[in-house]
Each structure stands twice: as structure tokens, then as C-alpha cells.
Amino acid sequence: MTKKRVVITGVGAVTPLGNDVPTTWNAIVEGKSGIGPLTRVNAEDFPAKVAAEIKDFDPEKYMHRKEVRKMDKFAQYALAASLMAVEDSGLKITDENATRVGVWIGSGIGGMETFENQFETLLNRGPRRVSPFMIPMMIPDMASGQVSIFLGAKGINSCTVTACASGTNSIGDAFKAIQRGDADAMVTGGAEAPITRMAVAGFCANTALSTNPDPNSASRPFDQNRDGFVIGEGAGIVVLEELEHALRRGATIYAEVVGYGATGDAHHITAPAPEGEGGARAMKIALEDGGLSPEDVGYVNAHGTSTDYNDKFETMAIKEVFGEHAYKLAVSSTKSMTGHLLGAAGGIEAIFTALAIKNGVLPPTINYETPDPECDLDYVPNEARHTELKAAISNSLGFGGHNATLAFRKYE
């Protein structure tokens, strides 16, 4: 069976750098940070003092106030980003094509804020006062569910929950749905709103978060002085389309999605496998799936969380996959600017990778000051770089040993 070709025709995002893709991308290219003091919860209660929070987001620009009250923040972000992506693509969803348009949006945690608020209601006011909307606001698949309802998209409707790989796995799964002919278009990506007392407490308890109180230097992937990730929130959504379907309607094409690799570490609930063995296999599968040789790839959007093991092992995995070519690659972590959006990270990073190819710009890794001898690749330190790209990959790695890689190629 011939694989159908799949392209990105629309992008939408709500991020700590801006509430749309142009604002976010301009900030990325300028090396600006969206990280600031932790304000969503009382910072005095936690060792972590900084976060990458969404600013000035008005959900009523995208939905009625009545709907806002029935949606957790993660679903609001997903819906806003999806509406932007569909508008950007120019895709019209009608009775005639609705069953061929699907939605696949991942979330690592789902409606944590709803869960916390309703648990307090249960304790303080009793079970009869718990909201009837609690369950449909909390479950992680509801971003996909709400987007499907708002758009009238009746095709495959799913959600991949693989912790910090959720967004990348969701896009990869949606890509495969189109490639095998199950859909003509998919609205896909990731969404997360985890800056809550319980989530911040949990990540602090397992010492994953940076305790650096300076927002300007807390997220420093691949730097020797990195000490943990900075928690972030938002959504990144792309519209994927079967190539002929996109060409027939004259759609703008950002990049072609050509490969997807997904593996399991079978090692540990939070730590990556030694030397990034599982991540290396995911990259190899994505390249093979996309018909790419290592030398075709010019850029890796790394998972690059700014944690000790992740950055070291991901570097080792890249060297394992690319051999000598690893030292000619540009590798950067946009989490230095966005923080770590958990299940939404793969969504926004897929957008950054596609825009890097389309615009010929490599996003920088900011706050890179002290090289780590164990992280010895070209991390595009501190300033964006202009260069033509033929192909690029984006990596996401999640608690539970989930590894996912997407391979993109310049559309020709």
C-alpha cells in the first residue's frame, strides 16, 4: 500500500510567549523568555519560585462565557489554539467532509485545577455540592472532545496520554491516521494547564523542578549549571492534511511530516534509560519511516528539559543515531524560553520545527553560559541562526519511559 503524504497547513498556539503563533515565534527568534515569578499559586509554599505562565488570555474571545465555566483551562487553551489553526489553514468543515476530519489532542495531566477545586468542595461542603461538570472538565480527552464539538469534526476523535510525550505522540498518531487513509485532515497537538498547588507540589517532591529563583536563568538546557525544568502551560495545535487534499484547495504548506518513531524504555517510572537508549531508537525509527538518512537532517528540536539526566542522555542518544554528523547538527531546546509545557510541549515544538524549516531559522537555546563536557553538541547558544534546512526532527520524552520523535521535511 502506498503511504499518503501528509503536510502541515495550519498552526495555532497559546504559550507563555504569546497567545498566538506569530507573537510566540517572533519571541523565539529574538531569544526572549516567557518565564517569570510563580504567581498562579503561593510561591512561598514551594521550593520552585518561577513558572512559564500564560498572560492576558481571554477565553471569551473563542467561546461563550457559559462554555468557559464548563471547561478546565487546558481545554480552553486547546480550543483557542485549534480555532486559530483551523482558521490559519483555511479548512472549511462541512456536512460533506466532517466525517473525514478528525481531532487528536494529547494532555499529560488534564484538568488538575478542576480536580483540586472540586476536592475542596467535597471536603468543605459535601458530595452533593460537587459539580456535575467535574468529570467532563477533568478527563484528559476532553480537549479533543470539546474541539470536535466546536468544529463539528466527526472523524477519529482521540487523545494520547504519555506524560511529556503526549503532544508528539498525538501528532504522530494523527499523522498515521491520515497516512493510512482513515482521515483527510486532523486537528492535533497537545494542551496542558498544570500550574496548580497539587501539580507543583508533586513535581517539587520528586525534585524535577528548578529551584533557581531567577526567571532569567532558571531554564538552562544543556548548561552545566542546569538544576531542573520550569513548569509551563498552554497549547500547540497543527492542522495535518493529506497532500492532494491540501493542494486541491490551494492551502499554504508549512512543512511535510514524513516520519514518526515511538518507543518504550522499559526502565524506570521517571528516569530515562541509560545513554538515552529508548530515545535513540525513536529517532532511528522516525528517520527510517520518513526515508531520511542522518545526513539529511540539519536540526533537532530537543526535548531538552534542563534536567541533569535528560540533557546528558538525549545528547548521547543524538550521537548514537547521527554518528559524526551529530557534530554538524544544530540542536536546540526552546524550553529555555517557553518552560516545559508537559503534554503540550510536543505540540508547540512541532510548530517551532516546521517554522524553522519554512523560514530557515534555527531557534536558540538561551541561558547557555557554562558548557557541560558531557553535552558537547552545537546547541545554537543564545542567538537564533539563519540557515536553510532540508529536514528536521523533534523529540519528546515522558515519565513512564515514553519516547516519541517526529521527522519533518521541507515541502517540495
Catalytic residues: 164, 303, 340
Question: For cell 468529570, what's the residue?
Answer: 135
- Contacting residues for 64 by C-beta, under 8 A, at least 6 apart: none
Closest CA to 28 of 236, 252, 225: 236
Assess contact for 113 and 43: CB atoms under 8 A: no
Task: Please list the residues that pair with 37 across neighbouring strands.
Answer: 50
Quote the Cα angle for 304-335-112, to 5°. Answer: 105
Assess contact for 138 and 367: CB atoms under 8 A: no
Instruction: Show the cell assigned to 260.
Output: 514518526
Alpha-carbon Rg for the chain, nearest whole angstrom, is 20
Assess contact for 105 and 188: CB atoms under 8 A: yes
